[in-house]
Amino acid sequence: MENEAYIGLPTMCLLPINKTRFKVVKNLRLEVVRKGSYHELSPKIFDKDSGDFNLLDNDVLYIPSITKVLLAEGKYPELKENQIFSPLSLTFTDETVIIEGMILEIINIIK
């Protein structure tokens, strides 16, 4: 399995700890629905077999679903190759999730 390559949506991840120089490009506040059907959000991207989602269900946060919902709602941040989106907070209401974060541009890694 170690040589397999996967194509799919990235999810939140931890990067190696090092001295990275970056600058803040933009602060973002993204609001998405908390639960529903992927297909109903975006029938052009997801088929009926894609299933339903609930981003916070019984105190369990489903991180990969956040990425899919951002894409389905057309709210996935537009990033250049040297940029990342860094979520800072997630606020859950009954109907929505508010994601506050920033787009960072990586300038270089100091060795």
**pLDDT tens digits, residue range 45-71?**
899 999 999 999 999 998 989 999 999
Tell me the residue range of the domain where 97 lies.
19-110
Instruction: Tell me, yes or no, whether 7 lies in a domain.
Output: no
CA 89/CA 31 separation, integer angstroms: 12
CB 52 within 8 A of CB 40: no
H runs (alpha helix) in the chain: 38-41, 63-72
Residue type, 87: P
Residues of the chain with pLDDT under 50: none
Q: Specify whether the CB–CB gap between 35 and 73 falls below 8 A.
A: no
Number of domains in the chain: 1
Residue 8 belongs to some domain of the structure: no
